[in-house]
Amino acid sequence: MNVLMIAAEAVPFVKTGGLADVAGSLPKALNAAGADVRVLLPKYGDIPAAWREKMQPLVSFTVQVGWRRQYAGVETLEHDGVTYYFIDNEFYFNRPGLYGYGDDAERFAFFCQAALEALPRLGWRPDVLHAHDWHAALVPVFLRAHYGLSEFHRSLRTVFTIHNLKYQGVFGYGVMQDLLNLGDEHFHANALEYYGSVNYLKGALNYSDALTTVSPTYANEIQTPYYGEGLDGTLRYRREALRGILNGLDYDAFDPSRDPHLVEPYAPPAAAKLRNKLALQEELGLPVSEDTPVVSLVTRLVEQKGLDLIAHVLEELLREDLQLVVLGAGEARYEKLLRDAAYHHPARMSTNLKFDEGLARRIYAGSDLFLMPSQFEPCGIGQMIAIRYGTAPIVRETGGLVDTVRPYNQYTGEGHGFSFTHYNAHEMLDTVRFALSMYRDEAHWSRIADNMAQQDFSWGASAREYLQLYESLVR
C-alpha cells in the first residue's frame, strides 16, 4: 500500500497546530504497519536551516495557475524512516510564517496543482492521495477536474481529513478562472459553491472518495448545525463516506521516562512526578508545596479553547486552594486577563504568554490536573499528553475529549479524568472542585493515577483503521 500524504505542515519541520503532529507521526506508524507512506509539504522559509541543508533536489517543472506559469521544484529527505517531499517556490513560500497572507488562495492552489504535477516525476507511484485540511483540499478537486484522461492519475483514490472544520479556505468567485482553471460546472452546491463564494474545503468534501475526521464524536457533531460551520448539509449528504478515526499520540516523542526537558524523568505513577512538581513551582516562582494541587492550562488563548469560561469564574477559581499555571499565547483580551490575574495573585497563579516546548513538557509533568474546557475540539492532543504524563484532565464533553477522557466514578473506581457537559462556567468550576476533592483523597487519587497509567493513545489502533480504509478504496 503506497500512500502520499499532502499537508501544509508537519513536525519536526514546521508547526502551528495539531495538523503538524498528525502529519509527522501518523506516517511513521503506518510504515511500521507495513505501508509505504510518504509526505509532501511546501518548502517554507521557516523550515530550520538544519533541515533545509539535508534536502536533495529531485526534479523541477512548471505549474499552470490560472494564466500564470510558475516554477515548482521538488526536494526530498528522509527522517525517521519516512520520505518527505518539499514543493519549492520562493515567491509563494519563502516568507515568515505559514498562513495569513492576502494571496493564500493562490499559494495553496499552486501547492495542490504542483503536488499532482509532481506525482509522475517522483519515481514512485501512490495508490492513495491523503490530503489534510483546506490547504490541500484542491487535490481531489483538481484530480477529478483536470486529470480524468491521465493514465497515471485516473486510478488514484483520495482521502480527505478534516482537522478543524472552522478553517475552510473561502474566497471570491473570481478564483474559479483566475487561479483554478475551473468552469461553472464546478460552481454549484455539490461542488465548490458556498453562498456565492468558492470554498476549497467544501470542494474536497464533495470530490474525495473518503472523508475522515480526527475523532468519532467530532464526525457526528459536524453533521449538526451547531458544529457544522455551514457545511453540515454537505456532510450529512456524504455521511456514508465519512468516518471518525481518533488521532494518536507519538509515544516516542512524548515519553516522561525519557523526556530530556524534565528535571527528573519518570514512569507514572511514580514519586519522581512529585519532584517535577516541586521543581516547576520553584521555576515559576510559586510557593513550593507538595500538598497544593497544581492545575495547568497549556493552549492557544482563543475562544475555541474555553477561555470565556475561565474568564467568567477566574476570581472564584483562584479562591480555591490551588495553583493555576498557564502557558500559551493568543488573543490580546485573554492575555491581558491572565497577566493581570497573575499580577494580583502571585502565590496562586503563574501566567506565561509564549510557546515554549520545554516548559510545556515540565508543566505536563509537574501538574496534578490539566484543564481543557473547549467549546469544540476535533480531537485535542493536550489531554492525551497530560494522561501520558500522569496528569488528570478536566475537559468539556465534546469531540475527541469525549473519546479520550473517561470521567472518574468515585463509587466504582473507573475512569481517569473529569468532565462536564454544558458550555457553562460554573459547571466547569463545580467539576474542578470535584477534581480537587478527589486529589485530597489519597485512595481515590491513587486509583485515578493507576487508571491513567493503563491508557494507550499510541498510533497503533488508528493506523490499522487508516490502512483498512485505504485498502477498501483500492479494492
Q: What does the pLDDT look like over 24-55, one tens digit per residue? A: 999 999 999 999 999 999 999 999 999 999 99
For residues 180 and 59, membership in a common domain is answered with yes
For residues 123 and 99, membership in a common domain is answered with yes
For residues 41 and 76, membership in a common domain is answered with yes
The set of cell numbers assigned to 372 is 481543557
User: Per the domain annotation, does 253 fall within a domain?
Assistant: no
Residue type, 364: Y
User: Per the domain annotation, does 261 fall within a domain?
Assistant: no
User: Per the domain annotation, does 260 fall within a domain?
Assistant: no
For residues 228 and 289, membership in a common domain is answered with no
User: Per the domain annotation, does 416 fall within a domain?
Assistant: yes
For residues 396 and 312, membership in a common domain is answered with yes
For residues 228 and 313, membership in a common domain is answered with no
What pLDDT shows up at residue 243? 97
For residues 88 and 235, membership in a common domain is answered with yes
Per-residue buried b or exposed e for 83-112, using 16+ beta carbons within 10 Å of the residue's own CB:
bbbbbbbeebbeeeebeeeeebbbbbbbbb
Question: Looking at residue 383, which CATH number applies to its domain?
Answer: 3.40.50.2000
What pLDDT shows up at residue 17? 83
User: Per the domain annotation, does 134 fall within a domain?
Assistant: yes
CB atoms within 10 A of CB 124: 12
For residues 11 and 127, membership in a common domain is answered with yes
What pLDDT shows up at residue 268? 80
Residue 124 in this model has a pLDDT that exceeds 80: yes
The set of cell numbers assigned to 400 is 475527541
**pLDDT tens, residue by residue, 200-241:** 999 999 999 999 999 999 999 999 999 999 999 999 999 999
Q: What is the mean pLDDT of residues 104-118?
A: 98
Residue 269 in this model has a pLDDT that exceeds 80: no
What pLDDT shows up at residue 224? 97
Write a three-state SS string for the chain. CEEEEECCCECCCECCCHHHHHHHHHHHHHHHCCCEEEEEEECCCCCCHHHHCCCEEEEEEEEEECCEEEEEEEEEEEECCEEEEEEECHHHHCCCCCCCCCCHHHHHHHHHHHHHHHHHHCCCCCCEEEEECHHHCHHHHHHHHHCCCCCCCCCCEEEEEECCCCCCCEECCCHHHHCCCCCHHHCCCCCCEECCEEEHHHHHHHHCCEEEECCHHHHHHCCCCCCCCCCHHHHHHCHHHEEECCCCCCCCCCCCCCCCCCCCCCCCCCCHHHHHHHHHHHHCCCCCCCCCCEEEEECCECHHHCHHHHHHHHHHHHCCCCEEEEECCECHHHHHHHHHHHHHCCCCEEEECCCCHHHHHHHHHHCCEEEECCCCCCCCCHHHHHHHCCCEEEEECCHHHHHHCCECCCCCCCCCEEEECCCCHHHHHHHHHHHHHHHCCHHHHHHHHHHHHCCCCCCHHHHHHHHHHHHHHHC
What pLDDT shows up at residue 459? 94
User: Per the domain annotation, does 267 fall within a domain?
Assistant: no
Query: Domain range spanning residue 59?
Result: 2-248+460-474
- CA dihedral 369→375→378→383, nearest 10 degrees, is 0
Residue type, 144: R
For residues 173 and 158, membership in a common domain is answered with yes
**Full-model pTM:** 0.93
Q: Calculate the CA 167 to chain-centre distance.
A: 12
User: Per the domain annotation, does 263 fall within a domain?
Assistant: no
What pLDDT shows up at residue 126? 97
**pLDDT tens, residue by residue, 435-472:** 999 999 999 999 999 999 999 999 999 999 999 999 99
Q: Residue 243 in contact with residue 219, Cβ under 8 Å?
A: yes
User: Per the domain annotation, does 305 fall within a domain?
Assistant: yes
Within 8 A by CB and 6+ apart from 147, the residues are: 116, 153, 154
For residues 197 and 71, membership in a common domain is answered with yes
Q: How far apart are CA 365 and CA 256, in angstroms?
A: 7
What pLDDT shows up at residue 16? 87
For residues 154 and 31, membership in a common domain is answered with yes
For residues 71 and 127, membership in a common domain is answered with yes
Q: What is the mean pLDDT of residues 114-136?
A: 97
Q: Specify the number of domains making up the chain.
A: 2
